[in-house]
Structure 1
Amino acid sequence: MRLFIAAHFPEETNQRLLEFNNFLKENARGNFTKPQNLHMTLIFLGETDSKTADKIVKIMENTIPNHPVTMKFEKIGRFKRGNESLVWAGGDSQKLSEIHQQLSTELQNTGINQDLKKFVPHVTLGRRIQFKTPSRNEKEIDEFLASINAEFETSISKISLMESELTSTGPNYKELFTIIL
């Protein structure tokens, strides 16, 4: 099983993120995130067996608080990948960063492998994005993304252990375990 731990948002937040996607679709082409796949990855675990998945659930139960967590979105940005970009909406949440760190520490202490990249709170809006105006240089693209007003605050509704199945039409995600906040 290919697993990750994800934070999910209320429906009104997902609608706001989809509005950003629709605006981006007018100005770019690529693989935009399906509405049902919007989430924020806290920890990517990769290929994991069911016995290890059970251990991850126990760690989540003992680590994740069952009280509300807020997230402040601040901007639309991108990670450059050659002539394409991964475009995201991101911001800050001190409490979410603390949860990430606690989960990561407990997973490491239990010997469970995880991706140890620095946690950057973001929701992927699209992958392999190419902006339509061929004359746009890197600076113009960054200025365009910075001009999108993406400042708002929201709550995180739940944190889940997710299974990802990669298909020819994109990833399919399945919730295996959930903690409601």
Structure 2
Amino acid sequence: MRVFLAIEFPDDIKEYLDQVQQVVKKKSVKGNFTNKKNFHLTLRFIGETRIDELDKLKEAINKISLHQSYFQLSFSKLGQFTKGNKRIIWVGIKHNEILNQLYILLERALDEQGYPREENSFVPHITLGRQVVLAEKLDKINEKIHIDKMVIPVRKISIMESTRLNGELTYIPLYSKSLIFQ
């Protein structure tokens, strides 16, 4: 199975991201856009994993959740990753020291479980679309879209499976661990 560790969003946040995505779609020639129900914040992509390895992932998130209380995030602006002429368009997360510390603790916990540390730097974002061809420059689109600074509650960390159901990419939570409430 193909898995990743993530922060899941409540429905109102997914609805908002869908509204932003609709504007981006209108400003795009084409793209492979994320299904609204799949919006999330990836903390760490793991990849192909055997079912018996899930216990190591559970142990890692259980360990960090013991020391991490609920916190909140907010959106920043639209951004992109480019590879050649292919673009991933995303909504960024405003700098958040608690999220950065959570990521560092997660990396340590995963390293202790035998997962090598991530080589790329952590750029927290929510993917709106892949292989997007924009009709105009992203700077121009950013000028037209006001990204709301709404509060995004972070209450748990989840192990998610990426699979296809009836031909549709679907993310299924396999295990979630609540953060402590203070």
Q: What RMSD over aligned residues (CA atoms) do the two structures have, in Å? A: 2.1
1:82 aligned onto 2:79: no
What amino acid maps onto 1:111 in structure 2?
A: G
- Unaligned 5+ residue runs, structure 1? none
Deviation sequence 1:29-86 (CA, Å, 0-9, x none): 2111101110010011111122221111011111125632211211011111222310
Worse-superposed segment, 58-67 or 39-48: 58-67
1:93 aligned onto 2:91: no
What amino acid maps onto 1:45 in structure 2?
A: I
What amino acid maps onto 1:67 in structure 2?
A: S
Q: Which residue of the other structure, out of 150, 170, 173, is the alignment partner of 1:172?
A: 170
> Compared with structure 1, are the counterparts of its residues 59 and 179 closer, same or farther at alpha carbon in structure 2 (3 Å cutoff)?
same
Deviation at 1:101, TM superposition (A): 1.0
> Compared with structure 1, are the counterparts of its residues 157 and 23 closer, same or farther at alpha carbon in structure 2 (3 Å cutoff)?
farther
Alignment correspondent of 1:54: 55
What is the CA–CA distance in structure 2 between the aligned matches of 1:73 and 1:43, rounded to whole Å? 19
Are 2:63 and 2:109, in contact at CA under 8 Å, matched by a contact in 1?
Answer: no
Alignment correspondent of 1:160: 158
Alignment correspondent of 2:22: 22
Alignment correspondent of 1:148: 145
TM-score scaled to structure 1, two decimals?
Answer: 0.86
Deviation at 1:116, TM superposition (A): 3.2
Alignment correspondent of 1:36: 37
Number of residue-to-residue matches in the alignment: 175
Alignment correspondent of 2:71: 69
> Compared with structure 1, are the counterparts of its residues 123 and 15 closer, same or farther at alpha carbon in structure 2 (3 Å cutoff)?
same
What is the CA–CA distance in structure 2 between the aligned matches of 1:27 and 1:89, rounded to whole Å? 15
What amino acid maps onto 1:73 in structure 2?
A: F
Deviation at 1:8, TM superposition (A): 1.2
What is the CA–CA distance in structure 2 between the aligned matches of 1:76 and 1:21, rounded to whole Å? 10
Are 2:24 and 2:141, in contact at CA under 8 Å, matched by a contact in 1?
Answer: no
Are 1:9 and 1:157, in contact at CA under 8 Å, matched by a contact in 2?
Answer: no
Are 1:93 and 1:121, in contact at CA under 8 Å, matched by a contact in 2?
Answer: no
Alignment correspondent of 2:109: 106
Are 2:61 and 2:109, in contact at CA under 8 Å, matched by a contact in 1?
Answer: no
- Unaligned 5+ residue runs, structure 2? none
Q: Which runs of 4+ in 1 moved over 3 A?
A: 113-116, 166-170
Deviation sequence 1:82-133 (CA, Å, 0-9, x none): 223100001222212211111111111221246432111100011111113x
Q: Secondary structure at the match of 1:162?
A: strand
Q: Which residue of the other structure, out of 110, 117, 120, is the alignment partner of 2:123?
A: 120
> Compared with structure 1, are the counterparts of its residues 116 and 166 closer, same or farther at alpha carbon in structure 2 (3 Å cutoff)?
farther
Deviation sequence 1:119-155 (CA, Å, 0-9, x none): 11100011111113xxx4xxx3333235422141321
